């Protein structure tokens, strides 16, 4: 007597779970490819490499970093989506790829909610408003006044379309009534290079990538995007001290193709959470003002839903568009 359809489906599901568990037991057996949808040297690259170094120690396999910038971070993300779902291609995904682009890019070559499995969030950080040293402003208030006296003459670099550097600048403009021209780059390093040279005058960028240049005096820091001052820059006020209610933050996590076995997703999540407890990682993140987060895949998914609503509102209010 043949088993009924529900029984056959249950047996098939059990076999899939058993196969996934068996695969996870030996995972990883070879190097893992980590795709980062932004340029080498930028904030996503820096924080991901710090995490990867700990995962290599724990998992005993090399993690190969593959930087694929461009297309408002859709190029690298699509590579993750189309990859073999076996756990050997993972991706860095952030506020841009998982939240902002849903509002800013209504037509993407994939659906992040449908085509990606969220493994876990691993960090959060804020931005810093920096200006080129040749610009005659020393505070957020002076920047606002200068921008109003020179409408459309200031150039605001960002690490790319749709980033929090882009939308943070758009939000700043709408909240201050200023006209500043957005100039997108393929990553933070290129934008910062031109900021130092005076080719652009303003930049909102992650603390993780711009802070070394502020410390060295190559960039003048005017304000941080957190509600309160940053512990690593106690003398730099928050932008909100001048522009009440201003706040932007960046975050990131690990994703895999949606059909990746659940057992591998669970194992990766556990390894990430273990790495975030490493004293070496905590020390390196603290030095660049990145906060380790951690948590379950389900917590990450709930957080992404909330952030999607928040950034859709910012895009709508600011009128942000791709430049």
Domains of the chain: 30-124+249-318 (3.40.190.150), 126-241 (3.40.190.10)
Mean pLDDT, rounded, for 66-90: 96
Q: What is the dihedral of CA 308, 310, 313, 315, to 10 degrees?
A: -70
Determine the average pLDDT of the residues in 100-113.
92
Query: What mean pLDDT comes out for the span 199-222?
Result: 96
Residues 6+ apart with CB under 8 A from 266: 24, 297
- CB contact at 8 A, 292 and 286: no
The pLDDT score that the predictor gives to residue 91 is: 98
| DSSP reduced 3-state for 180 | coil
Task: Provide the mean pLDDT of the chain.
Answer: 92
Instruction: Go through 10-44 and write b for each residue having 16 or more CB atoms within 10 A of its CB, e for each that does not.
Output: eeeeeeeeeebeebbeebbeeebbbbbbbbebbbb
Which residues have a Cβ under 8 Å from the Cβ of 237 and sit 6 or more positions away?
139, 140, 223, 224, 229
pLDDT confidence tier of residue 146, bands split at 50, 70 and 90:
very high
Q: CA 166 to CA 159: how far, in whole Å?
A: 8
How far is residue 301 from each of residues 53, 234, 261, 288, 313, measured CA to CA in Å? Answer: 25, 33, 17, 26, 19
| pLDDT for the residue 11 | 57
Using DSSP's 3-state secondary structure scheme, residue 63 falls into: strand
Q: Decide if pLDDT at 46 tops 80.
A: yes
CA 246 to CA 224: how far, in whole Å?
10
Nearest to 205 by CA among 48, 38, 53: 38
Q: Give the pLDDT score at 321.
A: 80
């Amino acid at each position: 007597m043949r088993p009924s359809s529900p029984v056959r489906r249950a047996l098939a599901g059990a076999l899939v779970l058993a196969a996934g568990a068996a695969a996870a037991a030996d995972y990883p057996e070879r190097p893992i490819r980590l795709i980062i949808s932004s340029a080498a040297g930028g904030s996503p690259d820096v924080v991901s490499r710090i995490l990867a170094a700990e995962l290599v120690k724990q998992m005993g396999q090399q993690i190969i970093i593959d930087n694929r910038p461009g297309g408002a971070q859709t190029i690298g993300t699509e590579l993750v989506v189309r990859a073999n779902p076996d756990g050997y291609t993972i991706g860095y995904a952030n506020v841009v790829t998982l939240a902002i682009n849903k509002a800013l890019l209504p037509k993407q070559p994939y659906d992040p909610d449908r085509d990606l499995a969220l493994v876990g969030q691993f960090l959060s950080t804020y931005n810093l408003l920096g200006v080129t040293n040749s610009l005659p402003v020393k505070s957020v208030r002076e920047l606002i006044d200068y921008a109003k006296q020179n409408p459309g003459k200031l150039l605001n670099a960002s690490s790319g379309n749709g980033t929090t550097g882009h939308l943070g600048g758009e939000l700043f403009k709408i909240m201050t009534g200023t006209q500043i021209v957005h100039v997108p780059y393929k990553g933070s390093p290129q934008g910062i290079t031109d900021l130092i040279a005076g080719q652009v005058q303003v930049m909102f960028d992650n603390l993780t990538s711009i802070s070394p240049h502020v410390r060295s005096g190559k960039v003048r820091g005017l304000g941080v995007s957190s509600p309160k001052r940053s512990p690593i820059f106690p003398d730099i006020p928050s932008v909100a001290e001048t522009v009440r209610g201003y706040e932007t933050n960046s975050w990131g996590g690990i994703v895999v193709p949606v059909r990746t076995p659940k057992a591998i997703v669970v194992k990766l999540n556990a390894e990430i959470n273990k790495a975030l407890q490493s004293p070496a990682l905590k020390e390196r993140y603290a030095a660049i003002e990145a906060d380790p987060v951690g948590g379950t895949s389900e917590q990450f998914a709930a957080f992404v839903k909330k952030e999607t609503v928040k950034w859709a509102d910012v895009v709508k209010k600011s009128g942000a568009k791709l430049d």
